[in-house]
Structure 1
């Protein structure tokens, strides 16, 4: 066979360490591959961490095209690893760029997107008559009641979308509910 073979992995990642562990796994599973090229993007575009690697391919012909596809798709917290077995035919710089971009495009086109909503955990202390009002607020604002403890007052742990935190703080101030965020 004189054509290269490409194997593409797509993995969700939340840290550089996690991404590097997956890349190490790819190298261990395919130790005889010619190249293990990758790119990842972590976090929101404004504060993103990113990396790319050509793993021996000519500079800018593998990692950068993979990264460009990730950016173009508007995705984050994702790692794409393209494993190449050289098939004997040199593709040239343009051919490599097209091949690596196509591998990333193919795998990213198939993925189901999950939108991540920033959340915070809140500890609340409230009087019993306010419990239902707070539960109703949680339901209306995409918050989740994680735990409730009953003693002289109700102690509630709530996971709340960060964007709704100001509304929760206003409600707590108006109803004399003690609020602590984590």
Structure 2
């Protein structure tokens, strides 16, 4: 899926040109719930990243970009980094992403890649923690938000083609 690679690469390059906002609006003073991204180590050169990139149209700092920044200068090795966000306890539209992330761009040109992105409705509840979960296989590239305690999905899935194209 070279198109997925191009879109992720372009987003990373343009990341410095766009400002990021917190998941919680500045004027919000009520309670929040934590939503953690995931960067799953598949090998020394490959991560599977499941992240929240927008909330109600506000662009968030992403785990994908944090991984790139933290791993600069490491050559063909990559270590996971995952960000978290605090969301107000009210209905929101969040953008989720599942993507393969290699240690170096050249590796993505010669290995299977995938990227799925889309918006889902999400209403966090008081006293609960959440994480962006997903799966990347040859057949599917998916992301959703799940309850940390029960590991049950609390949103619809965002789905795309798997790594076999």
Greater Rg by CA: 1
Fold conserved between structures, TM > 0.5: no
More helix by share: 1
More strand by share: 2
